[in-house]
């Protein structure tokens, strides 16, 4: 079968490899039909993270079920499903407590398509094995296209957790999204669209790029162009940081703009030490969340919003044919989705 590989020099190459097979009775084999390119994928290809050995590409995807193990219930051959990017058993103590990102049955942070979190393969392929299939997969609701749902297994659910908890706690609350220089463009734009869908009456969106600001405005956010991070921008019950800036300036702006006992969630990827305004956080009792999203529990809620046509993801997505992946990734848009079929 064909698999898209990321080579050691960050270049991409289609390669013929052996097809996977069922290894456990709880496995499924699925054929990806739509692949969403994660913000982290783009960052790696552009040199933002250290070089790795070559690895299989892709981890946000919708697929058709081809085969299931004897212990997989609730799914049949031909079902179209969203698959979580994180590998998790669903039965250990951490999974049952709602933290599949800390699953104790598989190595820590096991995931598709990164090359450094276990050899699970990548979704830019003809066939991929899904372990713990009943935990990892959710059926696509009627009326939701594979393209629209392609990112539900990671970035779209990550954006959902950034805004949903705060809006559940304070319905209609104003929200500030600090995208900074656009390190995670799709998560920031998804967060804006989801915040409006979930009832926020005001979504302010700070970014340095007019192209992304225009998309943010199209999904109902108030675009605010800033080339440099402010020390603070107002006071919001809910703030979101997607900047990933190691200097911490944009993150600090989000934290300092969080209202007393408000919530700030960061989806930025930070390596090493990043300064935080701990004194300012302490004074206002800021509740700060960071880390990988536990997407398995979030996917049904996100799919429900898509089924009710609440989230205009089509304004964020740019769709390209599956076989044109390498060319499309030369200069990716804010959110690239690769579709195997025109009807996806």
Mean pLDDT in each 10-residue stretch from start to end of the chain (344 residues)? 96 96 98 96 90 94 98 97 97 95 94 89 98 98 97 98 97 97 93 98 97 97 97 97 94 98 94 91 96 95 96 97 96 96 67
Question: What pLDDT score was predicted for residue 119?
Answer: 85
| 225 close to 178: Cβ distance less than 8 angstroms | no
20 with 141, same domain? yes
Of 38, 39, 37, 19, the closest CA to residue 29 belongs to: 19
Q: Flag whether 344 is in a domain.
A: no
Strand order in the sheet with 175-180: 222-225, 203-207, 175-180, 236-241, 258-266, 287-290
Question: What pLDDT score was predicted for residue 343?
Answer: 57
* CA gap 340, 106 in Å, rounded: 31
CATH assignment at residue 98:
3.90.180.10
Question: What pLDDT score was predicted for residue 219?
Answer: 98
Of 312, 318, 335, 317, the closest CA to residue 219 belongs to: 312
* CA gap 94, 74 in Å, rounded: 23
Question: What pLDDT score was predicted for residue 163?
Answer: 98
149 with 218, same domain? no
Question: What pLDDT score was predicted for residue 2?
Answer: 97
239 with 148, same domain? no
Question: What pLDDT score was predicted for residue 342?
Answer: 66
CATH assignment at residue 255:
3.40.50.720
218 with 269, same domain? yes
Q: Write out the residue range of the structural domain in which residue 56 sits.
A: 2-154+294-339
* CA gap 302, 320 in Å, rounded: 23
65 with 119, same domain? yes
Find residue 270's DSSP bridge partners. Answer: none
271 with 230, same domain? yes
Out of 249, 273, 290, a domain closes at 290
Question: What pLDDT score was predicted for residue 33?
Answer: 98
| 28 close to 133: Cβ distance less than 8 angstroms | yes
Query: Scanning the structure block, which residue is given the tokens 């900047």?
Result: 243
13 with 144, same domain? yes
Q: Flag whether 74 is in a domain.
A: yes
The pairing of beta strand 60-68 with beta strand 28-36: antiparallel
Of 258, 43, 259, the closest CA to residue 155 belongs to: 43
């Amino acid at each position: 079968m064909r698999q898209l590989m990321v080579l050691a020099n960050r270049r991409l190459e289609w390669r013929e490899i052996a097809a996977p097979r069922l290894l456990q009775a709880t496995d499924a084999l699925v054929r990806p039909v739509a692949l969403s390119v994660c913000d982290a994928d783009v960052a790696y290809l552009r040199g933002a993270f250290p070089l790795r050995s070559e690895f299989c590409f892709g981890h946000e995807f919708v697929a058709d079920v081809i085969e299931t193990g004897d212990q997989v219930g609730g799914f049949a051959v031909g079902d179209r499903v969203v698959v979580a990017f994180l590998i998790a058993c669903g039965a250990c103590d951490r999974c049952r407590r709602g933290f599949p990102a800390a699953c104790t049955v598989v190595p820590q942070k096991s995931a598709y398509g990164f090359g450094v979190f276990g050899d699970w393969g990548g979704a830019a392929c003809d066939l991929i094995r899904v372990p713990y299939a009943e935990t990892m997969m959710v059926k696509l609701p009627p009326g939701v296209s594979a393209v629209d749902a392609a990112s539900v297994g990671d970035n779209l659910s990550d954006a959902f957790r950034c805004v949903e908890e705060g809006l559940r706690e304070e319905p209609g609350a104003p929200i500030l999204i600090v995208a900074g220089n656009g390190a995670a463009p799709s998560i920031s734009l998804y967060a804006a669209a989801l915040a409006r869908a979930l009832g926020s009456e005001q979504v302010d969106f700070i970014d340095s790029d007019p192209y992304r600001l225009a998309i943010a405005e199209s999904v109902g956010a108030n675009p605010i162009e800033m080339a440099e991070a402010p020390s603070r921008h107002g006071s919001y019950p809910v703030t979101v940081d997607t900047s990933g800036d190691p200097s911490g300036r944009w993150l600090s702006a989000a934290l300092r703009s969080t209202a007393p006992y408000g919530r700030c969630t960061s989806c930025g990827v930070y390596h090493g030490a990043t300064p935080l305004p701990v004194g300012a956080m302490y004074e206002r009792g800021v509740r700060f969340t960071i880390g990988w999203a536990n997407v398995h529990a979030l996917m049904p809620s996100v799919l429900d919003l898509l089924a009710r046509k609440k989230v205009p993801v089509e304004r964020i997505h740019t769709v390209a044919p599956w076989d044109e992946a390498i060319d499309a990734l030369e200069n990716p848009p804010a959110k690239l989705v690769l579709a195997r079929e025109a009807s996806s």
